[in-house]
Structure 1
Amino acid sequence: MNDPFDTARLREAVLTAWRGSPTRFREDANAEEDLYLGGYRDRLLVELAQNAADAAGSDGRLRVSFVDRELRVANTGRPLDAAGVASLASLRASAKRDGVGQFGVGFAAVLTVSDAPRVVSRTGGVAFSAQRSREAAGVTGRVPVLRLVWPVDDAEDPVPEGFDTEVRLPLKDGVEPGALLEEFGEQAVDLLLSLDGLTRVEIGDRVWWREGERLHTPEGATDWVVVRVAGELDEDLTAGLGTEQRGTWTVCWALERGSPHRDQVLHAPTPTDERLSLPARLIATLPIEPSRRRLMPGPATDAVLAAAARAYPLLLDRLSPAERTDLVPLPGFPLSEVDDQLRQGVLAELRTTPWLPQPSGALVPPSKAALLPVDSSPLAELLADVVPGLVDAALAAPEHAPALAALDVTRLHAADVVAAVTGIDRPPTWWYRLYDALSPLAEVDADAREALGALPVPLADGRTIPGPRGTLLVEGELALGGAVHPDAAHPLLERLGARRGGPVDLLESLHEDVERSLDDAESGMDVDGLAETVLGLVDRAGIRPGEVPWLAALALRDSSGDWRRADELALPGAAFLELLAEDAPLGILDDAVARAWPPTVLTAVGVLETFAVVVDEEPTDPDHDLADERDWWESLPEPPARMSAVRDLDLVADTAWDAAIRLLVSDPLTAQALREPGGYTGWWVGHHGLLAGQPPRALRMPDATELVGLFDPVPPVAVDPSVLRAIGVRDRLHVASADDVEDLVERLGDERRTISLGTAMRAYTALARAVRDGVVHTGDVRPPVAVRTLTGEVLPAAEGLVLDVPWVLQVVDRERVVAVGAEFELAEPLAELLDLPLATEVVVGTPAGTPSPVAWADLGAVVDACDLVGIPVPAGGPMVHEELTVRIGLIDYRVAWWVVDGVAHCTDTTEGMSRALAWVTDRWAERHTFAALLEDPETLLD
C-alpha cells in the first residue's frame, strides 16, 4: 500500500508513547473527546470550511456531497502534505502558518458524525478508524481516533475534478444526511462572509457564491457593505499566545443593506459564542480559547477590538445619511463583556468622527453637532449660518432620536433657537419665514410656545423688540409705529401674544395678559388694573366656574400680600381648608378682594371654595395639571371619552381622609367625579388616599372571601360601601391593569402572607387570563422576585417553573412548581408573565423499554367507564408498560404514566390508566372519577 506521508512512523511514535505512559493514552482520549463533544460539537462545516479557506488563500471553493452514506467535503487550494498529516494526527499541533495551511485541532469536529474519517488529496491520502485504533492499541471501548493514521487504500477514488482535497466521512448510525445538508445550508452565508479565502460553497444541489460585495444564494442575491482593515500586533501584546494568534490582524465589518441586525455573534474569524448587539457583523482575527467559542482576554484582544471600533465609522461613509443612524449602538444591557467593550469603543469613535451632514453638505462629528427641535428643512436653511454645527433637518425626525441621543448630540430647544436669533439683523421677510418654520413647533409644544414668546419681532418703525406680547397686528394698509412690520406679520405672533386690530371680545383679548399676569406681577409690573378689569368682565358676562379655564391663571393677591394664580387661592373660611396638610401650597385670598366681589365671580376665575372639579368633554392628553395624571391616563385600556376630575387631592392630610371622602360625597359635582367609572378621582384616592392608614387598593371588602390572604379586610369606617368600591377597595379577584398585575404578583410572593393553595391558583389563573386576553402585556410589568408554589411556600422566582402538563408532577419537586389548576392552556401566558420556564422545557423525559400498544376499545373497564361517564371511547390507545421508567438526563424515574408526542404511555394500573384516559379524553378534572370507575364500575351507584 502506497504510504507517501510515512504514516507508519507516526503510528509507531504514538503507540510507543502510549506504551511508555498509559496515562498518555487516556489523556489523548479525553482531550479528543473534549474537542468534539465540547468546543467543536456543532462546528463541523465551519471547521472544514476554515481548513478549505486556509488552504486556498483566496478564491477558494467548497463542495459538500453525499456518496451513499458518506459525507464528502471537497475544497480547492494547497493539497495535503506531510506537515498537514502530522497536524491531523496530533491533538496539540497545527500545520497553519501565517494564515495558510490546513487541519488544526478543529478537525476533531469530524468525529461528531464519523468514526472513520479519510482525507484524500492530489498528493495522497490518509485514513483514521476507531476500530483499527482499538486493534492497534490492544484496547476496547473509547480510543482517540485521530492519533493513529494510516494511508488510504490504493483503490481510493481520486479527488473530484477541479478540487485539490476532499474529506470523506462515513456517517455514524443515527446521523441523517438530509439534516446535515439543511444545517450546512443555514451556515453558508456566514461562511462566505467570515472566510475571506472562500468565494463559493456548494451543498448538495444548492450553490452560494460571493461576487464582490454581493452574496448569491439559492433564494436570491443580497448586497453587503464591507469594510476591511489590517495591521500588525506588537510582540509585547502577544506574549503567551500561540503562533497562529500573533503577527498580522484583520478586521472586517459586514452590514447587509436594508437589514441591520442587532443580535449577532462575533466571528474570530469563525462564529464564536460571544454575542454582539451591533447591527453590523464583526469578523476579526482575535485570540480565542481552544474551544474557539470565547475570546482570550488580554492586551492583544484589547488592541484588535480597539482597531475594530476605529474602523466602524468607515461603514457610515458607504451609507446614505438617512441610513447612518441605524448603525449607532442604542442604550441597553450589553449581550456580553466583548459586546460592552465594543459598544463603548464604537460610541467613542462615532462621537468624534465627522459623519453627520450639515445643510451645506459638510460633515460634523456628533460631539460638535446641533440638532433642530423639529424636522424642518426651511428652518435649517434659515439657521445654517446662525447655529454652529447645525445638521441636516431630516435628522431631527423621531426615527433618528434614539441614536443621536446615545451619542449625546445636542438637541436645540425652542429657547436655544430664540437665543441664537436674538441680536441678529435680518430683513422682515426673513423673520416671517422663521415664524412660519417655527409654527408647527408652537402648535404641539406648550413649553416651546412659552419660549417662543421671546422671539424678536421687527416693527414698522424699524425697531426690533423682544417678544410679540403687546404688539399689534394691524389689518389692511394701516401703518402704526408700534405695529408689527407688514412683511413679518405672521399668525404665529398672534398665538404668542400679539393682538389683532379690529373689534374683538374684550375678555378674550386679555387671554394672554391673564396667562402672563403672574410673571408680570413677580417682575414688578402693576397688574391690579388687569385683575379689576377681568373680574368686572366676568361679572357682567355671567361666566360660571370652569367655563373659561384660562381665567385660573389670573394673578390675585393672597392674605400676605403676595401674588398667586387664582386657582392657587381659597376663599377665606372655606371648610375644605381644614382637611389640607399644613404645608399645602394653597394661599388664602386677600380679604379686601374677597369682600369686593361675589363668591360666584371669584370661583368663576378659579378661586377655590371647595375641591375644584376639572371637566374636559373631549380630553386628548393628560395635560390638566393634576397630580399623577399621566400615571392614571396610562393605566386606562384606552383614553377617556370624557373627563371629570377633582384636583388638589394631593394636598389632603393623611389623617383627614375619612372627612375628605365625606366632603367629596356631599357635593354633587365632586361626588359624580368620585364615582365616575375608571375616573381619575377614584383612581387617585385608591392609590394615594388612606383608610385607617392603608391605601384603599390594598384592602378588600369584608365579604370578598376569594381575596382572603391576598388583601387585608377594610377596617370599620363610616363610608358607604359603594364609595369604598369607587375608591378601589376590592370586592373580587380582578386584574385590569399592569399595576394590578404587579401588585398581585408581589402579594403572591410575600412570604409574610398566608394564602391557601386554592386562592393562589385562582390568582395565578386570573393573571394568566389577563395576559392571554391582552388586558396586560408582559413587557409592561416587572418579573417577580418570588413566587408561591404548590406547597404553599414562597420560592425565589429564578428557581421556579410553571406546570403545563400534569405528568411532570411525578418527577419534579412540588416546591418548585407554580400552577394554574387544570387549565393547562394558561400555563404559557403565566410563564411569560413570571419569566419562568414551562415544566416541559425543563423536564424532558423519554420512556424506556418495549411497551405493548393496546386499543382503548379492547379494555373492558375503560369501555364501561366511558359509558358510565357518557363519553365515547377514544380512538387509538396507550402504550402499556409492565414497569414504566422515564429517563431525564442521566436518571431513570419510575412513573405511572407519561405522554410523548401525543402518545400516552402508562402502566397497567388504575393510576396509570385513569390518568392517561382522562388526558386523552380532555377530561382531566374527572381523573379521580375515572380511577374509581376503573377500580369499581358500581362507584356511581354509591
Structure 2
Amino acid sequence: MSAPTDPFGTAALRAAVLGAWATSPTRFREDANAEEDLYLGGYRDRLLVELAQNAADAADGAGTLRLSLVDGELRAANTGRPLDADGVAALASLRASAKNPAQGVGQFGVGFSAVLAVTDAPSVLSRAGGVAFSAERTRAAIAEHPDLAARAAERGGRVPVLRVVWPADGDVPDGFATEVRLPLRDGVDGAALLADFAGQAADLLLALPGLERIEIGADAWWRVGDGARVHIHGPDGVVSWLVHRVAGVLPEDLVESLGVEARERPQWTVCWAVRVDADGVPLPLGDDVLHAPTPTDERLSLPARLVATLPIEPSRRRLHPGPAADAVLAEAARAYPALVDLTAAEHRTALVPLVGFPLSEVDEKLRELLLSALRRAPWLAAADGTGDLTPARAHVLDVSADGLAELLSEVVADLAAGYLSEQRHTAALAALDVPRLRPADVVETITGRARPPEWWHRLYTALAPVIETDGTARMELGGLPVPLADGRTLPGPAGVVLVEDAELLELLGQAEVGVLPVVHAEAAHPVLERLGAHRGGPADLLDAGGLQDAVERSLDDVESGVDIHGLISVVLRLVRDAGVRTGDRPWLGALALEDSVGDWRRADELALPGSPLLDILDEDAPVGVLSDEVAAEWPDHVLAAVGVLDAFALVVDEAPAGPDHALADEVVWWDARPEPPARVLAVRDLDLVTDDAWPRALNLLAAEPDTWRALLEPDGYTGWWIARNAVLAGAAPGDWRLAEADELEGLYDVIPDIGVDPRVLAAIGVRSTLRVDNADDAEDLLVRLGDQDRALPPGAILRTHAALAEAVVDELFDPADVRLPETTRTLAGTVATDCLVLDAPWPLAVLSETQVVSAGPDFALAEPLAELLDLPLATEELDEEITSAAEPVPWSELGAVAAACELLDVPTPLGSLLVHEKLMIHTPTGTHNVPWWVQDGVVHCEDTPEALARALAWTTDRWTDRHLFTALIEEPAHYLT
C-alpha cells in the first residue's frame, strides 16, 4: 500500500510537537494532563454534541450529519466545507479553534477531544484529504526520544492522542464532505452509543440551526421550517416548536472581559423555543438545561428552552459568569415576550416562569429577568379586545364568568380578558404581580358609574353563576348597584323590589317619586333576589321604605314649591291595587291633598265631599273638604284608606308604647287603666263633634264595622271618652239608664228616645245594670241615694248599698277618694244625716228604720259600707243593758230546735243559750221588750218559736233560713208541706 499524501503538512506539525516535548520537560506532561482533563472531565458524555456541532460549523445552514457503525468503527459524516489545513492545525493543538466566527457556534477546537471517550485512534477524512491520530503510533514516535519514553512510562504508557497527527487516506460517503472515523475501544458498545445518540438528535436539530438533518443508523431526524414554527421529524413522529431568534454584537467594553479567542467572536445569538402540540398549544418544558448552544449542566426550570451563544467555561458545562454573560442573558429576557406573542392569547400564561425554588444561579437570574420583561411588555389580552396590556398595569378579575370581564372593561381600565380569571392562569399572573379584583373591588369600582339599565341586566346575567355558587362572592356583591325605575341607582339590592306589573313600572318611571326602590324594568333580573331583593306588588312597595318618609313630608314639600302630583298618583295607585283598608297604615294620613278651596291639607284632615261627617263636626273643626277633582278620580274606599274622612277615622296600634296617638285626653285614659293597653283601637276626632249632633255621630259609629269594634273594645278609649264627654238629651250618657234596667229605677231616669240603638247606648255608658267600677261611680250613686227628691224602692236602696260595699271589698277604689254627700238613704227610704250602719238584725228591735242604713241581709257588707259612708256600726253604738232574768238551756235539750236542725241537716249548736220568760233591754231611749238579743257573743231569747228560730239561724250562720226554722220549730210537718 502506498503512503498517503500529506496535503495538510502533518509532518511539520508532528515534528513541532515532538520537538517541543523533547526540549520542554513539562510540555509533554501538560499536554497529556490537558487532554485527559478534557475527555475525562468537561467533554465526557458529549461525543454526539461535539460531532454535531462540528458538522453544523462546517455546513452552510442546511447541513446533514450521518452516524453509523461500520466494521467496529463509529463513523460521522457531514456535509458542508471539507477539512482544511487550519482545521487540522486546530484539531492537533488542543487550544485553538479554526472555526469562522461568523459561521460556527463552537468556540474551542478542544471539543474534538470528546472522541477519546470511545477511541484511541480517531481519524478525519474529507474530499481534500485526511488526518489520523493514534495513541499507539504516538507511543512509537516518542520511543525514539528516551526522555519522552521515560515520562510516558511514568504515566503507565498513556500519551496525548490528539497532539501528534498523521496523514490519512479514505473515501468519504457520497454527498458528504467529511467523515470522522472512530475505531471503538474494547468494551465500548457501539449499538448503545447509537441508541444514546438517537435520544439527543431532536434537541440538537433545534439547538444547531446550521444542522438540518441527522441520520443515526437506519433512522433519521430532520428539521422543517426556519421561521417561528419549526417541526422536528423523526421515527416517532413530529415534534413542533415555536421559535424566536435574535442576534447582536456585544459592546466593546464587554468584549474585553472575554478570553483571548472569544474576543474574536463578539457576536451573540439567542433562540427561545417552546414545544407546542398540533393545535399550537405550548407544552412548557419544566426541568431543562441551558443550551449554549449545546446542552450545559446549568439546570433551568423555565417553560421554554434557551439556546444562546453565552460565554461558557472550556468544559462547555458551566456558564462563565461576568458582564458579557449578563448582557446576553438580559438580551434573552428582552426577547422572551416575543416568543410569548407567538402563542395564542389564551395560552400565553403557560410561558410565564412560576415562582419556586431555583435549580441554579442561572435559573434564578433568568427567572427574575424574564418576569421583569414580561411585566413591562404588552402581551396580556385585554378584556375590551382593543389590544394587549402590560401586566404591570393590568387587573384581572378574581372570579370567572362568561362575558363579565368584557362587560366590565367598559368601566374598568386595563382589565384583562375574562378567561384569564380561570384557575389555570392564577399562578402565572401571581408571579407577575397582576392585581386580582375581588367582587368587592368590582362593586367599589363600578359604584357611581352611569350605565343604561340594559347594561346592568347584562352584568347581573354574567354574575349569576358566581352568585349562585360562591357564598363569599355573594356576600361581597351585596353592594352591587341597582338602577331604579325612577332613574336613581341604589348601592345594593337589599330591600329593592322587583315589580312585574308593566303599567305600574311605567307610572313609577314617569312619576319621578324618587323614594321607591323599584328595579328598572330593563335591569330586573332574578339574581337580584339572591342578593336581597324581593319580588313584590303594591303592598310591598308601600312597605319597602322611603315612601312613608315622602308621604310624611309631602305637606312641607308642596308648601315649599315641590311638585308632588307624581307622589300622589303613585301612592293612591298602590293603595288601590294593594287593597289597603282604612287604618291599615296610619302614616298614609299625612299625604298632602288639595281641598275644595285650593289649599293643601293632610289627607286625614279632609273629608269627602258630601260626607255625613261634615254635618256633625263643629264648624271650627280643622277638617276641610277634599277637592272635587281628586274625589272624582279615585274611589271613596281608596281615599278613605289614606285617611280622607267619610266616616270617623280609626287609630290602630297593635303594640303601643305609650299614650302618643294624638287622641283627646289619651293620657288620662291611659293612666286610669290598671295596666297599659295591649293595643290601641280608637276612634279619633270625637272631640270635634258638636253637642247636639251626638245621636247622629253614634249612628255613624255603629254603621261602620271598624268603628263599631272600637266602640265595643273592652276598656277601650272610644267608649271611655264618649261616656265622659258625649251629650245625650242634655246629659252625659252615664246620667241615663236603659228602659229595661229596672234595678236602676229611681236612681237614673230612662233615656229619652233619641233614635240610637240601645246596644250603642249601652256601649257608651248609658246604664243597663247596677255597677260600681270606680270612685266616680260610687260618688254618683251616693249623691243619687242622698237626693230626697228621688223616690227609691226599698230593694233599689238595699241593692245599691250592697253594690257599694262589695266594690269596697273588691278594692275597686279607695273609699278615701269618694266625696260623700251630706245625706244618705235610710232603710225606711228617707234621707238622714246621722245614721248607723246595721251590722246585725237584733238592733232593729230598739232602733227605727229611719235611723239605720243597710246593705241587706248579708251583714258581712256592713263594715265596708260603714267605712265608705264614714258611719258607725249599730252594734258598736248601742249601749244596752239586759234587765230580765234568764235560765241557761243547752241547745241540745230544746227538742223542737234539735228536730229542726235534724230536718235541715244542720248540726245542733254546742253550748247553751239564755232563755228569758220576757227579755227586757234597757237603752238610752228607754226599756224595750225584744224577742232575742246577742250580747258579748251570748245569745238571749224568749221561749217562742220565732225567737228561738232567729237565735238558731244566727248561731248556725243560716240567717236566710230563719223563717224556715220558725216554721219547723212551730210544726215539723212544715218540712213536708
The structural deviation recorded for 1:500 is 3.1
2:353 touches 2:371 (CA, 8 Å); kept in 1? Answer: yes
- Aligned counterpart in structure 2 of residue 40 of structure 1, from 29, 38, 43: 43
1:8 touches 1:150 (CA, 8 Å); kept in 2? Answer: yes
Structure 2 match to 1:76: 79
Q: Residue 482 and residue 385 in structure 1: after superposition, are their counterparts in 2 closer, same or farther (change >3 A)?
A: closer
Structure 2 match to 1:408: 433
Distance of 2:103 and 2:539 partners within structure 1: 88
Distance of 1:462 and 1:58 partners within structure 2: 71
Structure 2 match to 1:135: 140
Distance of 1:279 and 1:57 partners within structure 2: 31
Q: Which moved more, 1:361-370 or 1:372-381?
A: 372-381
- Aligned counterpart in structure 1 of residue 110 of structure 2, from 105, 115, 119: 105
Structure 1 match to 2:448: 423
2:268 touches 2:328 (CA, 8 Å); kept in 1? Answer: yes
2:250 touches 2:324 (CA, 8 Å); kept in 1? Answer: yes
Looking at CA atoms only, which structure, 1 or 2, has the larger radius of gyration?
Answer: 2
Distance of 1:146 and 1:200 partners within structure 2: 28
C-alpha offsets along residues 521-579 of structure 1, whole Å, 9 cap, x if unaligned?
xxxxxxxxxxxxxxxxxxxxxxxxxxxxxxxxxxxxxxxxxxxxxxxxxxxxxxxxxxx
Structure 2 match to 1:148: 164
Q: Does 1:288 align with 2:304?
A: no
Structural RMSD (CA)? 2.1
Q: Does 1:488 align with 2:503?
A: no
Matches within 5 A, 1:470-481: 470-477=495-502, 478-479=504-505, 481=516
Q: Does 1:249 align with 2:268?
A: yes
Distance of 1:279 and 1:294 partners within structure 2: 21
Structure 1 match to 2:303: 279
- Aligned counterpart in structure 2 of residue 20 of structure 1, from 20, 23, 26: 23
Q: Residue 321 and residue 220 in structure 1: after superposition, are their counterparts in 2 closer, same or farther (change >3 A)?
A: same
Structure 1 match to 2:131: 126
Distance of 2:450 and 2:355 partners within structure 1: 42
Q: Does 1:220 align with 2:233?
A: no
- SS at the partner of 2:245? strand
C-alpha offsets along residues 797-829 of structure 1, whole Å, 9 cap, x if unaligned?
xxxxxxxxxxxxxxxxxxxxxxxxxxxxxxxxx
The structural deviation recorded for 1:15 is 1.2
Structure 2 match to 1:169: 182
Structure 2 match to 1:719: none
C-alpha offsets along residues 866-920 of structure 1, whole Å, 9 cap, x if unaligned?
xxxxxxxxxxxxxxxxxxxxxxxxxxxxxxxxxxxxxxxxxxxxxxxxxxxxxxx
Equivalent position amino acid for 1:119 in 2? V
Distance of 1:74 and 1:504 partners within structure 2: 95
Matches within 5 A, 1:173-322: 173-212=186-225, 213-239=230-256, 240-244=258-262, 246-258=265-277, 259-322=283-346
Distance of 2:497 and 2:430 partners within structure 1: 40
What 5-or-longer segments of structure 1 have no aligned partner? Answer: 511-942
C-alpha offsets along residues 490-510 of structure 1, whole Å, 9 cap, x if unaligned?
2222222223337999xxx99
Give me the TM-score of the superposition, normalised by structure 2.
0.50
Distance of 1:460 and 1:261 partners within structure 2: 56
- Aligned counterpart in structure 1 of residue 533 of structure 2, from 498, 501, 507: 498
Q: Which moved more, 1:71-80 or 1:367-376?
A: 367-376
Q: Residue 100 and residue 450 in structure 1: after superposition, are their counterparts in 2 closer, same or farther (change >3 A)?
A: closer
The structural deviation recorded for 1:46 is 0.6
Distance of 1:484 and 1:146 partners within structure 2: 90
- SS at the partner of 1:168? strand
- SS at the partner of 2:74? strand
The structural deviation recorded for 1:92 is 1.6
The structural deviation recorded for 1:107 is 0.3
Q: Does 1:91 align with 2:91?
A: no
Q: Does 1:466 align with 2:514?
A: no
The structural deviation recorded for 1:316 is 1.8
Q: Residue 488 and residue 83 in structure 1: after superposition, are their counterparts in 2 closer, same or farther (change >3 A)?
A: same
Equivalent position amino acid for 2:26 in 1? T
Equivalent position amino acid for 1:148 in 2? V
Distance of 1:314 and 1:19 partners within structure 2: 58
The structural deviation recorded for 1:382 is 2.0
Q: Which moved more, 1:426-435 or 1:63-72?
A: 426-435
- SS at the partner of 2:522? helix
The structural deviation recorded for 1:158 is 1.0
- SS at the partner of 2:392? helix
Q: Does 1:437 align with 2:462?
A: yes
Distance of 1:39 and 1:482 partners within structure 2: 80
The structural deviation recorded for 1:441 is 2.2
Matches within 5 A, 1:254-403: 254-258=273-277, 259-358=283-382, 359-403=384-428
Equivalent position amino acid for 1:238 in 2? V
The structural deviation recorded for 1:475 is 5.0
Matches within 5 A, 1:734-813: none
What is the count of residue pairs matched by the alignment? 504
What 5-or-longer segments of structure 2 have no aligned partner? Answer: 144-148, 278-282, 509-515, 546-977
Equivalent position amino acid for 1:209 in 2? W
Distance of 2:451 and 2:245 partners within structure 1: 49
The structural deviation recorded for 1:271 is 0.6
The structural deviation recorded for 1:99 is 4.4
2:495 touches 2:517 (CA, 8 Å); kept in 1? Answer: no
1:120 touches 1:165 (CA, 8 Å); kept in 2? Answer: yes
C-alpha offsets along residues 298-357 of structure 1, whole Å, 9 cap, x if unaligned?
010000000000001111221111211110000101111111111111111111111112
- Aligned counterpart in structure 1 of residue 67 of structure 2, from 48, 64, 69: 64
Distance of 2:481 and 2:6 partners within structure 1: 94
Distance of 1:242 and 1:332 partners within structure 2: 38
- SS at the partner of 1:80? coil
Distance of 1:482 and 1:224 partners within structure 2: 59
2:247 touches 2:270 (CA, 8 Å); kept in 1? Answer: yes
2:130 touches 2:170 (CA, 8 Å); kept in 1? Answer: no
Equivalent position amino acid for 1:149 in 2? V
The structural deviation recorded for 1:249 is 0.5
C-alpha offsets along residues 444-488 of structure 1, whole Å, 9 cap, x if unaligned?
333322221112212222222211222223354554633222332
1:366 touches 1:409 (CA, 8 Å); kept in 2? Answer: yes
Equivalent position amino acid for 2:523 in 1? A
The structural deviation recorded for 1:260 is 2.0
The structural deviation recorded for 1:43 is 0.4
1:98 touches 1:244 (CA, 8 Å); kept in 2? Answer: no
Equivalent position amino acid for 1:32 in 2? E
Distance of 2:414 and 2:193 partners within structure 1: 55
Distance of 1:158 and 1:381 partners within structure 2: 69
Distance of 1:504 and 1:188 partners within structure 2: 81
The structural deviation recorded for 1:186 is 0.7
The structural deviation recorded for 1:234 is 1.2
Q: Residue 414 and residue 120 in structure 1: after superposition, are their counterparts in 2 closer, same or farther (change >3 A)?
A: same
Distance of 1:403 and 1:145 partners within structure 2: 52
Distance of 1:499 and 1:81 partners within structure 2: 91
Structure 2 match to 1:532: none
Structure 1 match to 2:14: 11
Distance of 2:433 and 2:85 partners within structure 1: 58
- Aligned counterpart in structure 1 of residue 121 of structure 2, from 116, 122, 132: 116
The structural deviation recorded for 1:375 is 2.3
C-alpha offsets along residues 707-732 of structure 1, whole Å, 9 cap, x if unaligned?
xxxxxxxxxxxxxxxxxxxxxxxxxx
Structure 2 match to 1:157: 170
C-alpha offsets along residues 834-887 of structure 1, whole Å, 9 cap, x if unaligned?
xxxxxxxxxxxxxxxxxxxxxxxxxxxxxxxxxxxxxxxxxxxxxxxxxxxxxx
Equivalent position amino acid for 1:181 in 2? L
Equivalent position amino acid for 2:243 in 1? V
Equivalent position amino acid for 2:160 in 1? P
1:238 touches 1:299 (CA, 8 Å); kept in 2? Answer: no
